[in-house]
Chains A and B, each alone.
Chain A
Protein backbone atom coordinates (compact mmCIF):
# COMPACT_ATOMS: atom_id res chain seq x y z
CA UNK A 1 0.00 0.00 0.00
CA UNK A 2 1.37 3.40 -0.94
CA UNK A 3 2.36 5.86 1.79
CA UNK A 4 -0.39 8.31 0.77
CA UNK A 5 -2.97 5.57 1.15
CA UNK A 6 -1.65 4.60 4.58
CA UNK A 7 -2.03 8.20 5.71
CA UNK A 8 -5.56 8.36 4.39
CA UNK A 9 -6.58 5.21 6.17
CA UNK A 10 -4.95 6.48 9.34
CA UNK A 11 -7.07 9.63 8.96
CA UNK A 12 -10.18 7.53 8.49
CA UNK A 13 -9.44 5.61 11.67
CA UNK A 14 -8.87 8.88 13.54
CA UNK A 15 -12.38 9.89 12.59
CA UNK A 16 -13.72 6.98 14.61
CA UNK A 17 -13.40 8.75 17.95
CA UNK A 18 -13.21 7.47 21.43
CA UNK A 19 -16.97 7.83 21.62
CA UNK A 20 -17.10 4.59 19.59
CA UNK A 21 -17.18 2.93 22.97
CA UNK A 22 -20.74 4.25 23.25
CA UNK A 23 -21.73 2.74 19.91
CA UNK A 24 -25.42 1.93 19.72
CA UNK A 25 -25.62 -1.36 17.80
CA UNK A 26 -29.20 -0.61 16.76
CA UNK A 27 -27.68 2.16 14.62
CA UNK A 28 -25.93 -0.34 12.35
CA UNK A 29 -27.60 -1.03 9.00
CA UNK A 30 -26.59 -3.93 6.81
CA UNK A 31 -27.71 -3.94 3.17
CA UNK A 32 -26.64 -5.73 0.06
CA UNK A 33 -27.30 -6.65 -3.55
CA UNK A 34 -26.57 -9.39 -6.05
CA UNK A 35 -27.03 -9.29 -9.79
CA UNK A 36 -26.49 -11.57 -12.75
CA UNK A 37 -26.53 -10.36 -16.32
CA UNK A 38 -26.11 -11.64 -19.83
CA UNK A 39 -24.46 -9.66 -22.63
CA UNK A 40 -24.51 -10.40 -26.32
CA UNK A 41 -23.33 -8.35 -29.29
CA UNK A 42 -23.05 -8.58 -33.05
CA UNK A 43 -19.77 -8.06 -34.95
CA UNK A 44 -17.75 -6.34 -32.18
CA UNK A 45 -17.04 -7.44 -28.63
CA UNK A 46 -18.35 -4.97 -26.06
CA UNK A 47 -16.43 -4.84 -22.73
CA UNK A 48 -16.12 -8.64 -22.71
CA UNK A 49 -16.22 -11.57 -25.12
CA UNK A 50 -19.79 -10.75 -26.04
CA UNK A 51 -20.06 -11.83 -29.68
CA UNK A 52 -20.51 -15.38 -28.35
CA UNK A 53 -22.71 -14.13 -25.51
CA UNK A 54 -21.43 -14.05 -21.94
CA UNK A 55 -22.70 -14.44 -18.40
CA UNK A 56 -19.50 -12.89 -17.07
CA UNK A 57 -21.46 -9.89 -15.92
CA UNK A 58 -22.42 -9.80 -12.25
CA UNK A 59 -22.07 -7.83 -9.02
CA UNK A 60 -22.34 -8.78 -5.37
CA UNK A 61 -22.23 -6.03 -2.76
CA UNK A 62 -22.44 -5.92 1.02
CA UNK A 63 -22.88 -2.53 2.68
CA UNK A 64 -22.67 -1.48 6.30
CA UNK A 65 -23.67 1.97 7.54
CA UNK A 66 -23.13 2.94 11.16
CA UNK A 67 -24.21 6.02 13.04
CA UNK A 68 -21.57 6.49 15.71
CA UNK A 69 -23.05 9.74 17.00
CA UNK A 70 -25.48 12.41 15.77
CA UNK A 71 -22.66 13.94 13.72
CA UNK A 72 -20.44 10.99 12.85
CA UNK A 73 -21.22 8.14 10.51
CA UNK A 74 -18.92 5.39 9.26
CA UNK A 75 -19.69 3.01 6.43
CA UNK A 76 -18.17 0.67 3.89
CA UNK A 77 -19.16 -1.47 0.93
CA UNK A 78 -17.44 -4.65 -0.19
CA UNK A 79 -17.96 -5.38 -3.85
CA UNK A 80 -17.30 -8.46 -5.92
CA UNK A 81 -17.85 -8.01 -9.65
CA UNK A 82 -17.16 -9.71 -12.92
CA UNK A 83 -17.20 -8.12 -16.35
CA UNK A 84 -15.27 -10.20 -18.84
CA UNK A 85 -11.65 -10.18 -17.70
CA UNK A 86 -12.28 -7.53 -15.05
CA UNK A 87 -12.97 -8.25 -11.41
CA UNK A 88 -13.33 -12.04 -11.62
CA UNK A 89 -15.38 -11.80 -8.44
CA UNK A 90 -12.45 -10.83 -6.27
CA UNK A 91 -13.84 -9.11 -3.17
CA UNK A 92 -12.66 -5.48 -2.99
CA UNK A 93 -13.43 -2.40 -0.94
CA UNK A 94 -15.73 -0.33 -3.16
CA UNK A 95 -15.97 2.54 -0.71
CA UNK A 96 -15.33 3.04 2.99
CA UNK A 97 -15.20 6.31 4.84
CA UNK A 98 -15.96 8.36 7.89
CA UNK A 99 -18.36 11.27 7.58
CA UNK A 100 -18.40 14.03 10.17
CA UNK A 101 -21.23 16.52 9.70
CA UNK A 102 -20.47 19.69 11.64
CA UNK A 103 -23.61 21.39 10.35
CA UNK A 104 -26.06 20.76 7.52
CA UNK A 105 -24.01 23.08 5.31
CA UNK A 106 -20.56 21.71 6.19
CA UNK A 107 -19.28 18.19 6.64
CA UNK A 108 -16.06 16.27 6.03
CA UNK A 109 -15.60 12.82 4.50
CA UNK A 110 -12.32 10.93 4.60
CA UNK A 111 -11.41 7.53 3.23
CA UNK A 112 -12.44 5.94 -0.05
CA UNK A 113 -15.43 8.00 -1.18
CA UNK A 114 -17.66 7.66 -4.25
CA UNK A 115 -16.61 10.33 -6.72
CA UNK A 116 -19.31 12.84 -7.66
CA UNK A 117 -19.12 13.23 -11.45
CA UNK A 118 -22.36 13.86 -13.30
CA UNK A 119 -25.52 12.98 -11.43
CA UNK A 120 -25.04 9.22 -11.52
CA UNK A 121 -21.37 8.25 -11.09
CA UNK A 122 -21.69 7.68 -7.35
CA UNK A 123 -24.41 5.06 -7.85
CA UNK A 124 -22.90 3.37 -10.90
CA UNK A 125 -22.31 0.00 -9.18
CA UNK A 126 -25.93 -0.31 -8.02
CA UNK A 127 -27.83 -0.94 -11.24
CA UNK A 128 -31.17 -1.27 -9.38
CA UNK A 129 -31.02 2.49 -8.76
CA UNK A 130 -31.58 3.21 -12.46
CA UNK A 131 -33.92 2.16 -15.21
CA UNK A 132 -31.31 0.87 -17.65
CA UNK A 133 -28.63 -1.74 -17.05
CA UNK A 134 -25.72 0.45 -18.15
CA UNK A 135 -25.31 4.13 -17.50
CA UNK A 136 -24.84 6.10 -20.75
CA UNK A 137 -21.37 4.97 -21.85
CA UNK A 138 -20.34 8.27 -23.41
CA UNK A 139 -19.99 9.86 -19.97
CA UNK A 140 -19.94 6.85 -17.62
CA UNK A 141 -17.49 4.81 -19.69
CA UNK A 142 -16.91 1.34 -18.19
CA UNK A 143 -13.36 1.54 -19.56
CA UNK A 144 -12.67 4.36 -17.10
CA UNK A 145 -14.73 2.98 -14.22
CA UNK A 146 -11.82 2.09 -11.93
CA UNK A 147 -10.27 5.52 -12.35
CA UNK A 148 -13.50 7.41 -11.70
CA UNK A 149 -15.55 5.28 -9.31
CA UNK A 150 -14.08 6.68 -6.07
CA UNK A 151 -11.39 8.92 -4.70
CA UNK A 152 -9.17 8.02 -1.78
CA UNK A 153 -8.78 11.23 0.09
CA UNK A 154 -10.70 13.98 1.79
CA UNK A 155 -13.85 15.79 0.73
CA UNK A 156 -16.04 18.53 2.10
CA UNK A 157 -19.75 18.61 1.43
CA UNK A 158 -22.96 20.24 2.53
CA UNK A 159 -26.40 21.50 1.65
CA UNK A 160 -27.30 25.16 1.38
CA UNK A 161 -31.04 25.69 1.80
CA UNK A 162 -32.73 28.72 0.24
CA UNK A 163 -36.22 28.20 1.72
CA UNK A 164 -38.71 28.38 -1.14
CA UNK A 165 -35.96 28.87 -3.74
CA UNK A 166 -34.70 25.30 -3.51
CA UNK A 167 -31.36 24.08 -2.19
CA UNK A 168 -27.81 23.41 -3.32
CA UNK A 169 -25.72 20.29 -2.64
CA UNK A 170 -21.95 20.69 -2.94
CA UNK A 171 -19.06 18.25 -2.66
CA UNK A 172 -15.38 19.18 -3.19
CA UNK A 173 -12.55 16.66 -2.89
CA UNK A 174 -8.87 15.86 -3.25
CA UNK A 175 -7.38 12.39 -3.39
CA UNK A 176 -5.91 9.55 -5.40
CA UNK A 177 -7.44 6.90 -7.65
CA UNK A 178 -5.61 3.59 -6.86
CA UNK A 179 -6.87 1.44 -9.74
CA UNK A 180 -6.79 -2.36 -9.39
CA UNK A 181 -4.31 -4.21 -11.63
CA UNK A 182 -7.03 -5.56 -13.92
CA UNK A 183 -8.56 -2.13 -14.68
CA UNK A 184 -9.53 -1.85 -18.34
CA UNK A 185 -7.69 1.49 -18.44
CA UNK A 186 -4.34 -0.33 -18.25
CA UNK A 187 -5.11 -2.29 -21.42
CA UNK A 188 -5.93 0.92 -23.28
CA UNK A 189 -2.79 2.62 -22.00
CA UNK A 190 -0.62 -0.36 -23.01
CA UNK A 191 -1.86 0.10 -26.55
CA UNK A 192 -1.50 3.91 -26.46
CA UNK A 193 2.01 3.90 -24.97
CA UNK A 194 3.09 1.34 -27.60
CA UNK A 195 1.80 3.61 -30.33
CA UNK A 196 3.38 6.76 -28.86
CA UNK A 197 6.82 5.22 -28.39
CA UNK A 198 6.84 2.64 -31.22
CA UNK A 199 7.87 0.15 -28.52
CA UNK A 200 5.98 -2.96 -27.49
CA UNK A 201 4.61 -2.14 -24.03
CA UNK A 202 3.82 -5.34 -22.15
CA UNK A 203 2.52 -4.04 -18.81
CA UNK A 204 1.43 -0.79 -17.17
CA UNK A 205 1.26 -0.21 -13.41
CA UNK A 206 -0.09 2.81 -11.58
CA UNK A 207 2.66 4.64 -9.70
CA UNK A 208 1.00 7.73 -8.33
CA UNK A 209 -2.07 9.81 -8.95
CA UNK A 210 -3.91 12.90 -7.89
CA UNK A 211 -7.55 13.80 -8.44
CA UNK A 212 -9.37 16.90 -7.41
CA UNK A 213 -12.75 18.22 -8.34
CA UNK A 214 -16.23 18.92 -7.17
CA UNK A 215 -19.91 18.86 -7.82
CA UNK A 216 -22.73 21.36 -7.41
CA UNK A 217 -26.34 20.22 -7.69
CA UNK A 218 -29.15 22.77 -7.55
CA UNK A 219 -32.45 21.21 -6.48
CA UNK A 220 -35.03 23.65 -7.83
CA UNK A 221 -38.32 24.49 -6.08
CA UNK A 222 -40.06 22.62 -8.91
CA UNK A 223 -40.36 19.06 -7.59
CA UNK A 224 -38.21 16.64 -9.57
CA UNK A 225 -36.13 19.24 -11.41
CA UNK A 226 -32.43 19.57 -10.67
CA UNK A 227 -29.36 20.89 -12.43
CA UNK A 228 -25.77 19.91 -11.85
CA UNK A 229 -22.25 20.85 -12.77
CA UNK A 230 -19.27 18.74 -11.83
CA UNK A 231 -15.61 18.97 -12.67
CA UNK A 232 -12.48 16.87 -12.27
CA UNK A 233 -8.78 17.29 -12.92
CA UNK A 234 -6.65 14.17 -12.73
CA UNK A 235 -3.01 13.28 -13.21
CA UNK A 236 -1.99 9.64 -13.17
CA UNK A 237 1.64 8.50 -13.32
CA UNK A 238 2.52 5.01 -14.46
CA UNK A 239 5.46 2.71 -14.91
CA UNK A 240 5.31 0.75 -18.14
CA UNK A 241 7.38 -2.31 -19.10
CA UNK A 242 8.68 -2.41 -22.64
CA UNK A 243 11.35 -4.09 -24.71
CA UNK A 244 13.54 -6.64 -22.97
CA UNK A 245 13.25 -5.89 -19.27
CA UNK A 246 13.11 -2.12 -19.60
CA UNK A 247 10.57 0.18 -17.99
CA UNK A 248 9.83 3.86 -18.19
CA UNK A 249 7.48 6.55 -16.97
CA UNK A 250 4.11 7.25 -18.52
CA UNK A 251 1.42 9.76 -17.68
CA UNK A 252 -2.26 10.37 -18.32
CA UNK A 253 -3.35 13.90 -17.65
CA UNK A 254 -6.99 14.93 -17.86
CA UNK A 255 -7.80 18.62 -17.48
CA UNK A 256 -11.02 20.57 -17.62
CA UNK A 257 -13.16 17.45 -17.30
CA UNK A 258 -16.65 18.76 -16.67
CA UNK A 259 -20.22 17.47 -16.85
CA UNK A 260 -23.35 19.60 -17.09
CA UNK A 261 -26.49 17.78 -15.95
CA UNK A 262 -30.24 18.13 -16.06
CA UNK A 263 -32.80 15.78 -14.52
CA UNK A 264 -36.56 16.21 -14.46
CA UNK A 265 -38.57 13.41 -12.92
CA UNK A 266 -42.33 13.47 -12.60
CA UNK A 267 -44.82 10.78 -11.68
CA UNK A 268 -45.10 9.23 -15.12
CA UNK A 269 -41.99 10.35 -16.96
CA UNK A 270 -38.36 11.27 -16.49
CA UNK A 271 -35.94 13.26 -18.63
CA UNK A 272 -32.18 13.15 -18.11
CA UNK A 273 -29.57 14.92 -20.21
CA UNK A 274 -25.87 15.47 -19.63
CA UNK A 275 -22.99 17.04 -21.55
CA UNK A 276 -19.29 16.33 -20.97
CA UNK A 277 -15.95 17.58 -22.21
CA UNK A 278 -12.32 17.01 -21.18
CA UNK A 279 -8.76 17.53 -22.38
CA UNK A 280 -6.67 14.38 -22.33
CA UNK A 281 -2.91 14.04 -22.85
CA UNK A 282 -0.86 10.86 -22.73
CA UNK A 283 2.93 10.82 -22.38
CA UNK A 284 5.35 7.88 -22.45
CA UNK A 285 9.16 8.01 -22.29
CA UNK A 286 8.93 11.79 -22.56
CA UNK A 287 6.98 11.66 -25.83
CA UNK A 288 3.52 13.21 -25.74
CA UNK A 289 0.67 12.20 -27.99
CA UNK A 290 -1.47 14.94 -29.47
CA UNK A 291 -4.00 16.36 -26.99
CA UNK A 292 -7.49 14.90 -27.38
CA UNK A 293 -10.68 16.72 -26.48
CA UNK A 294 -13.37 14.08 -25.97
CA UNK A 295 -16.91 15.41 -26.08
CA UNK A 296 -20.07 13.53 -25.08
CA UNK A 297 -23.75 14.05 -24.46
CA UNK A 298 -26.91 12.05 -24.09
CA UNK A 299 -30.64 12.41 -23.73
CA UNK A 300 -32.62 9.73 -21.91
CA UNK A 301 -36.37 9.43 -21.47
CA UNK A 302 -38.21 7.20 -18.99
CA UNK A 303 -41.87 6.33 -18.97
CA UNK A 304 -42.99 5.01 -15.59
CA UNK A 305 -45.97 3.05 -16.91
CA UNK A 306 -46.88 1.88 -13.40
CA UNK A 307 -45.19 1.10 -10.08
CA UNK A 308 -43.52 -1.94 -11.59
CA UNK A 309 -42.81 -1.18 -15.23
CA UNK A 310 -40.47 1.45 -16.70
CA UNK A 311 -39.63 1.93 -20.37
CA UNK A 312 -36.53 3.85 -21.46
CA UNK A 313 -35.09 5.38 -24.61
CA UNK A 314 -31.55 6.73 -24.86
CA UNK A 315 -29.52 8.54 -27.48
CA UNK A 316 -25.89 8.69 -26.46
CA UNK A 317 -23.06 10.33 -28.43
CA UNK A 318 -19.29 10.31 -27.88
CA UNK A 319 -16.60 11.98 -30.00
CA UNK A 320 -12.99 10.96 -29.28
CA UNK A 321 -11.95 14.51 -30.18
CA UNK A 322 -14.40 17.34 -30.67
CA UNK A 323 -11.91 18.93 -33.09
CA UNK A 324 -11.79 15.79 -35.25
CA UNK A 325 -15.34 14.50 -35.47
CA UNK A 326 -14.60 12.73 -38.77
CA UNK A 327 -11.88 10.61 -37.18
CA UNK A 328 -9.10 11.78 -39.53
CA UNK A 329 -6.44 11.33 -36.85
CA UNK A 330 -7.34 7.63 -36.63
CA UNK A 331 -7.09 7.24 -40.40
CA UNK A 332 -3.62 8.83 -40.24
CA UNK A 333 -2.63 6.08 -37.78
CA UNK A 334 -3.94 3.36 -40.10
CA UNK A 335 -7.13 2.79 -38.12
CA UNK A 336 -10.78 3.20 -39.15
CA UNK A 337 -12.26 6.69 -39.01
CA UNK A 338 -15.27 5.45 -37.00
CA UNK A 339 -13.09 5.17 -33.89
CA UNK A 340 -13.64 8.92 -33.81
CA UNK A 341 -17.30 8.62 -32.75
CA UNK A 342 -19.83 6.32 -31.13
CA UNK A 343 -23.57 6.93 -31.41
CA UNK A 344 -25.79 4.61 -29.41
CA UNK A 345 -29.57 4.48 -29.78
CA UNK A 346 -31.10 2.19 -27.20
CA UNK A 347 -34.39 1.06 -25.74
CA UNK A 348 -34.94 -0.74 -22.47
CA UNK A 349 -37.54 -2.08 -20.07
CA UNK A 350 -37.34 -2.57 -16.32
CA UNK A 351 -39.78 -4.70 -14.36
CA UNK A 352 -39.78 -4.55 -10.57
CA UNK A 353 -41.04 -7.94 -9.51
CA UNK A 354 -41.06 -6.73 -5.89
CA UNK A 355 -39.27 -4.13 -3.75
CA UNK A 356 -36.24 -6.42 -3.80
CA UNK A 357 -36.23 -8.03 -7.25
CA UNK A 358 -35.65 -6.24 -10.55
CA UNK A 359 -35.49 -7.58 -14.11
CA UNK A 360 -34.13 -5.56 -17.04
CA UNK A 361 -33.70 -5.94 -20.76
CA UNK A 362 -32.28 -3.48 -23.25
CA UNK A 363 -31.15 -3.24 -26.86
CA UNK A 364 -28.46 -0.89 -28.22
CA UNK A 365 -27.90 -0.04 -31.87
CA UNK A 366 -24.45 1.49 -32.24
CA UNK A 367 -22.64 3.36 -34.98
CA UNK A 368 -18.88 3.79 -34.57
CA UNK A 369 -16.67 2.79 -31.67
CA UNK A 370 -13.99 3.94 -29.27
CA UNK A 371 -10.28 3.22 -29.05
CA UNK A 372 -10.83 0.64 -26.27
CA UNK A 373 -12.59 -1.55 -28.84
CA UNK A 374 -9.20 -2.19 -30.47
CA UNK A 375 -8.02 -3.80 -27.23
CA UNK A 376 -10.69 -6.51 -27.08
CA UNK A 377 -11.28 -6.89 -30.82
CA UNK A 378 -9.16 -7.59 -33.85
CA UNK A 379 -8.75 -3.95 -34.94
CA UNK A 380 -8.72 -4.89 -38.65
CA UNK A 381 -12.12 -6.57 -38.34
CA UNK A 382 -14.00 -3.90 -36.38
CA UNK A 383 -17.46 -3.17 -37.76
CA UNK A 384 -18.83 0.37 -37.87
CA UNK A 385 -22.45 -0.63 -37.33
CA UNK A 386 -23.16 -3.16 -34.60
CA UNK A 387 -25.54 -3.81 -31.76
CA UNK A 388 -25.72 -5.42 -28.36
CA UNK A 389 -28.33 -6.38 -25.83
CA UNK A 390 -28.24 -6.90 -22.11
CA UNK A 391 -30.40 -8.85 -19.68
CA UNK A 392 -30.05 -8.52 -15.93
CA UNK A 393 -31.70 -9.74 -12.75
CA UNK A 394 -30.88 -7.98 -9.48
CA UNK A 395 -31.78 -8.62 -5.86
CA UNK A 396 -31.27 -5.97 -3.20
CA UNK A 397 -32.12 -5.72 0.47
Chain B
Protein backbone atom coordinates (compact mmCIF):
# COMPACT_ATOMS: atom_id res chain seq x y z
CA UNK B 1 0.00 0.00 0.00
CA UNK B 2 2.81 2.42 0.90
CA UNK B 3 4.44 1.66 -2.43
CA UNK B 4 1.18 2.42 -4.23
CA UNK B 5 0.77 5.76 -2.42
CA UNK B 6 4.40 6.65 -3.18
CA UNK B 7 3.90 5.74 -6.83
CA UNK B 8 0.74 7.89 -7.06
CA UNK B 9 2.61 10.78 -5.41
CA UNK B 10 5.49 10.53 -7.88
CA UNK B 11 3.10 10.38 -10.84
CA UNK B 12 1.10 13.39 -9.58
CA UNK B 13 4.28 15.42 -9.01
CA UNK B 14 5.52 14.48 -12.46
CA UNK B 15 2.21 15.51 -14.04
CA UNK B 16 1.97 18.77 -12.11
CA UNK B 17 5.51 19.73 -13.08
CA UNK B 18 4.55 19.39 -16.74
CA UNK B 19 1.78 21.96 -16.25
CA UNK B 20 3.49 24.27 -13.77
CA UNK B 21 2.56 27.86 -14.64
CA UNK B 22 6.07 28.74 -15.77
CA UNK B 23 5.01 31.76 -17.77
CA UNK B 24 4.56 35.49 -17.39
CA UNK B 25 1.53 37.21 -18.85
CA UNK B 26 2.51 40.39 -20.70
CA UNK B 27 0.71 43.34 -22.29
CA UNK B 28 1.59 46.52 -24.13
CA UNK B 29 3.15 49.24 -21.96
CA UNK B 30 0.23 51.59 -22.75
CA UNK B 31 -2.26 49.12 -21.31
CA UNK B 32 -3.78 50.68 -18.15
CA UNK B 33 -4.21 47.29 -16.43
CA UNK B 34 -1.60 46.05 -13.97
CA UNK B 35 -3.36 42.82 -13.02
CA UNK B 36 -6.00 40.47 -14.40
CA UNK B 37 -8.19 37.77 -12.91
CA UNK B 38 -7.70 34.21 -14.11
CA UNK B 39 -11.31 34.13 -15.34
CA UNK B 40 -10.77 37.28 -17.45
CA UNK B 41 -7.55 35.85 -18.88
CA UNK B 42 -9.42 32.65 -19.72
CA UNK B 43 -12.24 34.64 -21.37
CA UNK B 44 -9.71 36.55 -23.48
CA UNK B 45 -7.95 33.45 -24.78
CA UNK B 46 -11.30 31.73 -25.48
CA UNK B 47 -12.54 34.76 -27.45
CA UNK B 48 -15.26 35.71 -24.96
CA UNK B 49 -13.75 39.00 -23.79
CA UNK B 50 -12.86 41.33 -26.63
CA UNK B 51 -12.08 44.72 -25.06
CA UNK B 52 -9.96 46.16 -22.26
CA UNK B 53 -11.51 48.46 -19.65
CA UNK B 54 -10.47 51.53 -21.72
CA UNK B 55 -12.30 50.18 -24.81
CA UNK B 56 -9.18 49.05 -26.69
CA UNK B 57 -9.75 45.84 -28.64
CA UNK B 58 -7.99 42.82 -27.12
CA UNK B 59 -5.50 41.04 -29.36
CA UNK B 60 -4.40 37.74 -27.79
CA UNK B 61 -1.35 35.94 -29.18
CA UNK B 62 -0.32 32.38 -28.44
CA UNK B 63 2.97 30.54 -28.78
CA UNK B 64 3.33 27.67 -31.19
CA UNK B 65 3.37 24.11 -29.82
CA UNK B 66 5.79 24.15 -26.91
CA UNK B 67 6.05 23.31 -23.23
CA UNK B 68 5.17 26.89 -22.32
CA UNK B 69 2.06 26.80 -24.52
CA UNK B 70 1.02 23.50 -22.96
CA UNK B 71 1.49 24.89 -19.46
CA UNK B 72 -0.33 28.13 -20.31
CA UNK B 73 -3.45 26.55 -21.84
CA UNK B 74 -3.76 24.15 -18.91
CA UNK B 75 -3.20 26.77 -16.21
CA UNK B 76 -5.38 29.53 -17.67
CA UNK B 77 -8.05 27.86 -19.82
CA UNK B 78 -8.17 24.48 -18.05
CA UNK B 79 -7.73 22.77 -21.42
CA UNK B 80 -4.90 20.69 -22.77
CA UNK B 81 -3.16 22.28 -25.76
CA UNK B 82 -5.00 19.82 -28.00
CA UNK B 83 -8.38 20.67 -26.45
CA UNK B 84 -7.53 24.37 -26.80
CA UNK B 85 -6.70 23.86 -30.49
CA UNK B 86 -9.95 21.91 -30.98
CA UNK B 87 -11.95 24.68 -29.28
CA UNK B 88 -10.65 27.13 -31.88
CA UNK B 89 -11.06 24.70 -34.75
CA UNK B 90 -14.74 24.40 -33.87
CA UNK B 91 -15.02 28.21 -33.82
CA UNK B 92 -13.23 28.47 -37.16
CA UNK B 93 -15.37 25.87 -38.93
CA UNK B 94 -18.65 27.26 -37.58
CA UNK B 95 -17.74 30.90 -38.14
CA UNK B 96 -17.84 32.04 -34.53
CA UNK B 97 -14.19 33.11 -34.36
CA UNK B 98 -10.60 32.39 -35.28
CA UNK B 99 -7.76 31.31 -33.02
CA UNK B 100 -5.31 33.84 -31.55
CA UNK B 101 -2.33 34.68 -33.75
CA UNK B 102 0.41 32.10 -33.25
CA UNK B 103 4.07 33.12 -32.84
CA UNK B 104 7.15 30.90 -32.53
CA UNK B 105 8.99 32.21 -29.46
CA UNK B 106 9.20 34.66 -26.54
CA UNK B 107 11.07 37.31 -28.54
CA UNK B 108 8.46 37.48 -31.29
CA UNK B 109 5.62 37.54 -28.77
CA UNK B 110 7.25 40.49 -26.99
CA UNK B 111 7.90 42.32 -30.25
CA UNK B 112 4.28 41.85 -31.37
CA UNK B 113 2.89 43.03 -28.03
CA UNK B 114 5.21 46.04 -27.97
CA UNK B 115 3.86 47.06 -31.37
CA UNK B 116 0.12 46.51 -30.67
CA UNK B 117 -1.72 48.46 -27.97
CA UNK B 118 -4.37 45.83 -27.18
CA UNK B 119 -2.13 42.75 -27.41
CA UNK B 120 -1.70 40.19 -24.65
CA UNK B 121 0.48 37.09 -24.60
CA UNK B 122 2.79 35.00 -22.47
CA UNK B 123 6.52 34.37 -22.30
CA UNK B 124 8.63 31.93 -20.32
CA UNK B 125 9.04 32.81 -16.65
CA UNK B 126 12.39 34.48 -16.09
CA UNK B 127 12.51 36.04 -19.55
CA UNK B 128 13.77 39.64 -19.39
CA UNK B 129 10.67 41.80 -19.95
CA UNK B 130 11.64 44.49 -22.45
CA UNK B 131 9.35 47.16 -24.01
CA UNK B 132 6.24 45.45 -22.61
CA UNK B 133 4.89 45.03 -19.09
CA UNK B 134 4.05 42.03 -16.98
CA UNK B 135 0.46 41.50 -15.86
CA UNK B 136 -0.14 40.00 -12.47
CA UNK B 137 -2.67 37.17 -12.37
CA UNK B 138 -4.88 37.74 -9.32
Contact = CB atoms under 8 A, between A and B. Distances in A.
Contact of A104 (B37, B49, B96): B49
A225 B69 CA distance: 22
Given A104-B50, A161-B43, A223-B78, A122 B94 contact: yes
Interface in A242-296: 265, 267
A198 B42 CA distance: 59
Nearest to A64: B95
A244 B50 CA distance: 60
Given A99-B95, A159-B43, A129 B89 contact: yes
Interface string B98-121: 100000000000000000000000
Contacts of B48: 104, 159, 161, 167, 169
Contacts of B80: 267, 304, 307
Contacts of A167: 39, 43, 48
Contacts of B35: none
B43 A95 contact: no
Interface string A51-85: 00000000001010101001001011100000000
A210 interface: no
Q: Is the interface of A mostly helix, strand, loop or mixed?
A: strand
B36 to A, nearest CB: 12
A223 B80 CA distance: 11
B104 to A, nearest CB: 15
Nearest to A97: B95
B85 interface: yes
A93 to B, nearest CB: 12
Nearest to A66: B98
Contacts of B97: 65, 73
Contacts of A396: 89
A31 interface: yes
B50 A63 contact: no
Contacts of A122: 90, 94, 96
B2 interface: no
A161 B95 contact: no
Contacts of B90: 122-123, 126, 129
A128 interface: yes
B89 A128 contact: yes
A167 B40 CA distance: 11
A205 to B, nearest CB: 29
Interface string B26-48: 00000000000101100100001
Given A126-B90, A128-B89, A113 B95 contact: yes
Contacts of B94: 95, 114, 122-123, 126
B93 A129 contact: yes
B17 interface: no
A114 B94 CA distance: 7
Contact of B93 (A77, A113, A164): A77
A75 B95 contact: yes
Given A31-B93, A104-B49, A126-B89, A224 B98 contact: no
Contacts of B40: 161
B50 A123 contact: no
Q: Which 10 A-B pairs have the closest CB atoms?
A: A223-B78, A75-B95, A70-B57, A159-B48, A126-B93, A122-B94, A114-B94, A29-B98, A123-B90, A65-B98
Given A97-B95, A129-B86, A265-B83, 18 more contacts: A29-B92, A31-B92, A33-B93, A65-B92, A65-B98, A70-B57, A95-B94, A99-B95, A104-B48, A114-B94, A123-B93, A125-B93, A128-B89, A129-B93, A161-B49, A163-B39, A223-B77, A307-B82
30 contacts: A31-B92, A65-B97, A65-B98, A70-B50, A97-B95, A99-B95, A99-B96, A101-B50, A104-B43, A104-B51, A113-B95, A122-B94, A122-B96, A123-B90, A123-B94, A126-B89, A126-B90, A128-B89, A161-B48, A163-B37, A167-B39, A167-B43, A169-B48, A221-B39, A223-B77, A223-B79, A265-B83, A267-B80, A307-B80, A396-B89
Interface of A: 29, 31, 33, 61, 63, 65, 67, 70, 73, 75-77, 95-97, 99, 101, 104, 113-114, 122-123, 125-126, 128-129, 159, 161, 163-164, 167, 169, 221, 223-224, 265, 267, 304, 307, 352, 355, 396
